[in-house]
Amino acid sequence: MPLDPEVFRHHPGLAAQIRDPEDCVFRHMEPADHDPRMRELGFAEDWRFDDATRNRMLDETLKGRCDRDLWVFGYGSLMWNPGFYFSEVRRARVEGLHRSFCLVDRMGARGDASAPGLMAALDLGGSVEGLAFRIPACNVRCEADYVWKREMIAPGYIPVFVPAETAQGPVEVLSFRADHAVEMMDPTLDHATKVRYIATGRGFLGTSREYLENVVAHCRCMKIEDPELEQLMHDVTAFPALPGNCPTQT
């Protein structure tokens, strides 16, 4: 079901930038659907949270909040492909967290063990601008479940509620902060490694470069300035032409 144009009332230009939730692959997949591929990649059977654990974590996070609207913060792929229905979207700024390309993907989504991919996560410090999506109270438990199956399918993030500023007033947003106890989160990567991972990583969701291109495009659409994003985009674009670089062939 296409999104009501009214949800884009604050930012009409986003109507053409954000995918219909029904077109999101995650909305039509259960966590167990990923198991065969993960076995092929050599991961243990317990690579993800079991359904009971994941549902318990969601219930604990939403405790006392299911009777009110839920705002979800998007800083990466949620900005163009949220995969859940919402009734309003606003540009939002969060203090104390920043967009960091530190999520190393060796799990087959946008990279693997032979050619890791790289995506963004929220890390401590600084500030970050993105999009805040409002899920109405009547749909919170149902739509939040789609978010959870995607963001909390396995260890990687810590769900936190943080204040966000929008032009229409302050809101509290659910965000997912990088869990440094998990191997896939590596905030120590140097710039050259980030560029290489993004330029060569690919998997069943597409390439890491496509991911970066989408983040950059949506930040530009919203006039969000992020110098690191722009530098990464510049250097990833130049990567195949640099001496000694051999892009992956498929």
Q: Which one of 40, 151, 210, 213 is the catalytic residue?
A: 151
Q: Digits of tens for pLDDT over the chain (250 positions)?
A: 789 999 999 999 999 999 999 999 989 999 999 999 999 989 999 999 999 999 999 999 999 999 999 999 999 999 999 999 999 999 999 999 999 999 999 999 999 999 999 999 999 999 999 999 999 999 999 999 999 999 999 999 999 999 999 999 999 999 999 999 999 999 999 999 999 999 999 999 999 999 999 999 999 999 999 999 999 999 999 997 544 444 443 3
Assigned domain for 250 exists: no
Assigned domain for 125 exists: yes
- 151 as an active site residue: the answer is yes
- Residue 224 pLDDT: 94
- What would the two tokens of residue 156 be? 């990687």
Three-state SS at 72: strand
Give the CA distances from residue 41 to residues 17, 114, 167, in Å, rounded to whole numbers and listed in that order.
Answer: 33, 11, 45
Contact between 73 and 92 (Cβ < 8 Å): yes
Identify the bridge partners of residue 132 per DSSP, sorted by sequence position. 73, 90
| Tokens 């390439």, located at residue | 207
- What would the two tokens of residue 118 be? 């790289």
- Residue 247 pLDDT: 42
Contact between 215 and 120 (Cβ < 8 Å): yes
Assigned domain for 116 exists: yes
Host domain of residue 101: 5-241
- Residue 157 pLDDT: 98
Assigned domain for 93 exists: yes
Assigned domain for 77 exists: yes
CATH for 40: 3.10.490.10
Alpha carbon of residue 150 to chain centroid = 9
Nearest to 141 by CA among 60, 25, 24: 60
- Residue 30 pLDDT: 94
Strand pairing category for 88-107 and 70-74: unpaired
Assigned domain for 248 exists: no
Give the relative orientation of helices 208-221 and 191-200 as an angle to the nearest 10 degrees.
Answer: 110
Q: What angle do CA 77, 38, 105 make, to 5 degrees?
A: 40
Nearest to 206 by CA among 196, 198, 216, 217: 198
Number of domains in the chain: 1
Assigned domain for 220 exists: yes
Assigned domain for 249 exists: no
The secondary structure of 37-86 as a DSSP string is HHHHTT--TTSS--HHHHHHHHHHHHTTTTTS-EEEEESSGGGT---S--
Dihedral-angle region of residue 180 (phi above 0 means left; psi in -120 to 50 means alpha; beta otherwise): alpha
What is this structure's pTM? 0.92
Q: How many CA atoms does the CB half-sphere of 42 hold within 13 Å?
A: 4
What is the distance between the alpha carbons of residues 149 and 26, in angstroms, rounded to a whole number? 8
